[in-house]
């Protein structure tokens, strides 16, 4: 099934030109324990991987009895690893070491860790090196994850519908759980473990109370059983009013003793079924969800209620900062900061505040969220969207690695220059042991898992960056292409180039220069800059672009909504100054005259049209590149991607033409000379 994409980046299909046995390591011989489920998962993966890459399955030994070849284990599971106990202590619970050495005179490759899960991660790492053609001779790799909780958030409803999901229906078949454990659950766990993802929130943030009922907890427990050997903990989205809906209480007030007891009992019930349950993810008082403010309590009082119920069991609360009131006379971009920054220090130790990368909502480009750096006493969890709600769903080829990288490398200046978002998120800036990063999953029951071949790269990049937020999006793309399509440099280089510019292209043809939220109403697919009216101002496009005869853009400067002042002074000054603000964010922070001179020398209007057109041209270029790869990529996948690129090409032009025509209807300006619409 490799050619339908189901194998993801774990195809193990392309044997390297270099014969692995040439390294003298003798990878066909593996000494590995097989007593625990995780140890067996590591052996299974090696069997699968080496059979694919070397052409024959390895021989397994449990040892003792020999050295040489590949030796896997922990100090407790392997006599060869036992002498390394001291050295491995520095690797924490999940880190690992790969080392080429000599044991009893024979070349040996060690995959060593303190815990079985580290060994499994090490095996996936080794297989990745082999898939991407890295030389194993003299290998020495030490890897420790930089972020503690590396989590996928599934916005899956119990009826199988995936909110903002473009890859079919939910993977979880609640109907047949817990009795039937679909093999896909194991495949899902393998794919995540290959990246180091160690948590899965099974249900939607717009949570149904029913997911906390005993019947559904038993189903979640079955999934937890499948995931456990792969180091993945299960979490649940918790509906704040569940004590009313499930428990029959009259209130969900966090200060009510009956409510507190209900959550404690619920936690006890969950941990009896899922001893390593991760905790709750909560969306409260946002977009109509219930929450503590319904009882005139704060977000901190709400979060602490659940945190206290989970604390005895070691669980955490991931409390979302994505909140905004229905009444946004002011500026919606300000609201999360206004509600949360003052709660710093008021939250229990086992609460993380989960913050979207930007202050609005997963737009093609946003500045980093001003809460990063503003709550030093609270672990702030990053929330990225892997599913492309505002980026062309699964049809448009948009590699999100550069978006994630841009957000993580943004400098908050919270403690002077170099206080990057990555350092806030990994806890190093403020010395937090608890840290986390979440991705809203793009996974469903589609044969490609993600709705398209290239959207697998976004799942992959999210996982790799969660492990180490300082990695480069380009390097990650190169690994993904080598593993997914071919390690041939003639394939890797052009595809990586194509991927790396794809996000900027989407920004160009959808929302250039800091424009945002101009998608069609509700479904968010396709252009809708004219969207106006309806129940809420902040659900219209005109609220965001504010175009008039004079100019365009949302004035968030000190003369406008003053959202700039939520950033550290250094950053605020830059964003506030129309001459200094990065042009990519110009219309996010300023209302700018149509004839404002841009750095290119063009007036703003001409520059906008230029960028819209440039975005369409980039899709032309991706089509041309893909065409040159015909015959080097298997037919079915080549055809699938080519068909989607054709859709993207047509829709990029739709975006451009619709947006340009709409803004012309407001500014009355002609098309700039030479800027003809693409044919
Ligand atoms: C967006 C998205 C919703 C989602 C919400 C959230 O607004 O459109 O579907 O529920 O984000 O993150 O809570």
- pLDDT single digits (tens) 298-335: 999 999 999 999 999 999 999 999 998 776 678 999 99
CA distance 443 to 62: 36
508 pLDDT more than 90? yes
Which residue, chain included where needed, has tokens 């067996």?
A: 40
* Contact assessment for residue 243 and residue 212, using Cβ atoms and an 8 Å cutoff: no
Active site residue 361: yes
The CB of 384 under 6 Å from ligand 1? The reply is no
Q: What is the pLDDT of residue 103?
A: 82
Kindly tell me the burial class for residue 55, based on how many C-beta atoms sit within 10 Å of its own C-beta (0-12, 13-18, 19 or more): exposed
Instruction: State CA 48 to chain mean position distance.
Output: 27
**pLDDT score recorded for residue 14:** 60
Active-site choice (89, 287, 532, 627): 287
441-473 tens-digit pLDDT: 999 999 999 999 999 999 999 999 999 999 999
Identify the residue whose tokens are 């619409």: 677
Residue of 143, 301, 389, 607 marked active site? 389
- The finding on whether 206 has its CB within 6 A of some atom of ligand 1 is yes
Angstrom CA distances, 609 to 164, 373, 506, 553, stand at 30, 36, 14, 15
Ligand 1, atom 7, lies closest to the CA of: 361
Which of 164, 207, 438 is the pocket-test mutation for ligand 1 (most atoms within 8 Å of CB)?
Answer: 164
Q: What proportions of the chain, in percent to the nearest 5, are helix, strand and coil?
A: 40, 15, 45
Q: pLDDT value at position 67?
A: 61
Pairing of strands 551-552, 592-593: antiparallel
Q: Is 536 in the pocket of ligand 1 (CB under 6 A)?
A: no
Condensed to tens digits (0 to 9), the pLDDT of residues 189-236 reads 999 999 999 999 999 999 999 999 999 999 999 999 999 999 999 999
> Which residue's CA is the closest to the ligand 1 atom numbered 1?
361
Mean pLDDT of 271-296: 97
CATH fold of 2-143 reads: Chitobiase; domain 2 (3.30.379)
Q: What is the pLDDT of residue 22?
A: 54
Measured from the CB, is residue 521 less than 6 Å from ligand 1? no
349 is known as an active-site residue: no
Homologous superfamily of domain range 149-482: Glycosidases (3.20.20.80)
Q: Residue 64: is the preceding peptide bond cis (ω within 30°)?
A: yes
Question: What is the per-residue pLDDT for 271?
Answer: 99
CA distances from 38 to 34, 63, 89 (A): 8, 17, 20
According to CATH, the topology of domain 508-554+591-667 is Alpha-d-glucuronidase, C-terminal Domain (3.90.1330)
* pLDDT for residue 88 is more than 70: yes
Q: Residue 676 — very low, low, confident or very high, per pLDDT cuts 50/70/90? A: confident
Which candidate in 361, 405, 426, 607 is catalytic?
361
* Ligand 1 binding pocket includes 205 (Cβ within 6 Å): yes
Question: Domain locations in the chain?
Answer: 2-143, 149-482, 508-554+591-667
237, containing H or E segment: strand 233-237
Complex ipTM over 0.90: yes
Residue 170 and residue 162: Cα distance in Å, rounded? 6
Q: Are 201 and 235 in contact (CB under 8 A)?
A: yes
Per-residue model confidence (pLDDT) at position 68: 74
Cα separation of 478 and 500, whole Å? 10
Query: What percent of the chain clears pLDDT 70, i.e. is strictly above it?
Result: 97
Cα(458) to centroid of ligand 1, in Å?
A: 19
CA of 157 to the centre of ligand 1 (A): 13
Distance, in Å, from the CA atom of 306 to the CA atom of 602, rounded to the nearest integer, reads 55
Query: Residue 616 to residues 612, 619, 649: CA-CA distances in angstroms?
Result: 7, 5, 7
Q: Which two tokens stand for residue 383?
A: 């929330």
Tokens 């400098």 belong to which residue? 411
Mean pLDDT of the 130-140 span: 93
Segment 345-368 shows an average pLDDT of 98
Three-state secondary structure call for residue 304: helix
Kindly state the DSSP code that residue 355 receives in the 8-state scheme. E
**pTM listed for this prediction:** 0.98
Give the pLDDT confidence score for residue 66 in this predicted structure.
60
């Amino acid at each position: 099934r490799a050619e339908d994409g189901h194998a993801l980046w774990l195809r193990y299909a392309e044997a390297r030109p270099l014969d692995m046995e040439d390294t003298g390591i003798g990878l066909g011989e593996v000494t590995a324990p097989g007593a625990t489920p995780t140890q067996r998962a590591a052996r299974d993966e090696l069997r699968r991987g080496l059979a694919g890459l070397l052409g024959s399955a390895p021989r397994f030994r449990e040892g003792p009895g020999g050295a040489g070849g590949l030796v896997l284990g922990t100090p407790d599971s392997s006599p060869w690893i036992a002498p390394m106990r001291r050295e491995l202590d520095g690797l924490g619970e999940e880190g690992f070491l790969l080392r080429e050495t000599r044991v009893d005179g024979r070349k040996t490759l060690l995959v060593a860790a303190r815990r079985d899960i580290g060994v499994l991660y090490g095996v996936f790492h080794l297989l990745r090196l082999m898939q991407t053609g890295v030389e194993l001779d003299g290998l020495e790799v030490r890897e420790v994850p930089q972020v503690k909780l590396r989590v996928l958030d599934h916005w899956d409803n119990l009826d199988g519908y995936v909110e903002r999901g473009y890859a079919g229906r939910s993977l979880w078949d609640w109907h047949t759980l817990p009795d039937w454990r679909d093999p896909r659950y194991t495949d899902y766990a393998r794919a995540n473990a290959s990246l180091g993802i160690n948590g899965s929130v099974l249900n939607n943030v717009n949570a149904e109370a029913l997911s906390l009922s005993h019947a559904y907890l038993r189903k979640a427990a079955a999934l937890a059983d499948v995931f456990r050997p792969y180091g993945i903990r299960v979490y649940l989205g918790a509906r704040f009013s569940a004590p009313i809906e499930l428990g029959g209480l009259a209130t969900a007030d966090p200060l009510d003793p009956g409510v507190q007891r209900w959550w404690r009992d619920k936690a006890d019930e969950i941990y009896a079924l899922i001893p390593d349950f991760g905790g709750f993810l909560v969306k409260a008082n946002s977009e109509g969800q219930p929450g503590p403010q319904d009882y005139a309590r704060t977000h901190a009082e709400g979060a602490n209620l659940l945190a206290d119920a989970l604390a005895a069991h070691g669980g955490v609360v991931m409390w979302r900062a994505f909140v905004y009131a229905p009444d946004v006379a002011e500026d919606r971009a300000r609201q999360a900061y206004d509600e949360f920054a003052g709660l710093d220090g008021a939250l229990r130790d086992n609460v993380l505040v989960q913050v979207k990368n930007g202050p609005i909502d997963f737009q093609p480009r946003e500045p980093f969220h001003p809460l990063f750096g503003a709550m030093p006493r609270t672990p702030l969890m990053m929330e990225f969207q892997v599913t492309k709600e505002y980026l062309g769903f699964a049809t448009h080829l948009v590699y999100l690695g550069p978006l994630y990288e841009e957000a993580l490398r943004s400098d908050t200046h919270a403690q002077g220059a170099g206080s990057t978002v990555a350092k806030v998120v990994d806890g190093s800036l403020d010395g937090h042991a608890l840290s986390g990063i979440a991705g809203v999953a793009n996974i469903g029951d589609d044969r490609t898992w993600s709705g398209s071949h290239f959207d697998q790269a976004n799942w992959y990049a999210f996982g790799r960056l969660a492990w180490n937020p300082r990695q480069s999006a380009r390097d990650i793309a190169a690994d993904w292409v080598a593993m997914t399509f071919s390690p041939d440099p003639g394939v890797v280089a052009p595809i990586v180039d194509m991927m790396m510019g794809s996000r900027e292209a989407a920004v160009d043809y959808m929302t250039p220069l800091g424009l945002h939220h101009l998608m069609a109403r509700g479904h968010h697919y396709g252009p809708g800059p004219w969207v106006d009216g309806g129940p809420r101002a902040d659900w219209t496009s005109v609220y965001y672009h504010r175009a008039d005869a004079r100019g365009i853009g949302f004035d968030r400067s000190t003369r406008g909504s003053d959202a700039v002042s939520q950033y550290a002074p250094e950053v605020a000054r830059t964003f506030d100054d129309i001459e200094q603000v990065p042009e990519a964010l110009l219309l996010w922070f300023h209302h700018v005259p149509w004839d404002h001179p841009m750095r290119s020398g063009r007036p703003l209007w001409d520059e906008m049209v230029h960028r819209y057109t440039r975005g369409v041209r980039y899709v032309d270029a991706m089509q041309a590149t893909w065409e040159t790869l015909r015959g080097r990529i298997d037919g079915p996948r080549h055809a699938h991607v080519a068909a989607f690129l054709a859709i993207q090409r047509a829709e990029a032009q739709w975006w451009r033409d619709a947006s340009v025509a709409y803004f012309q209807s407001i500014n009355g300006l002609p098309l700039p000379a030479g800027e003809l619409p693409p044919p």
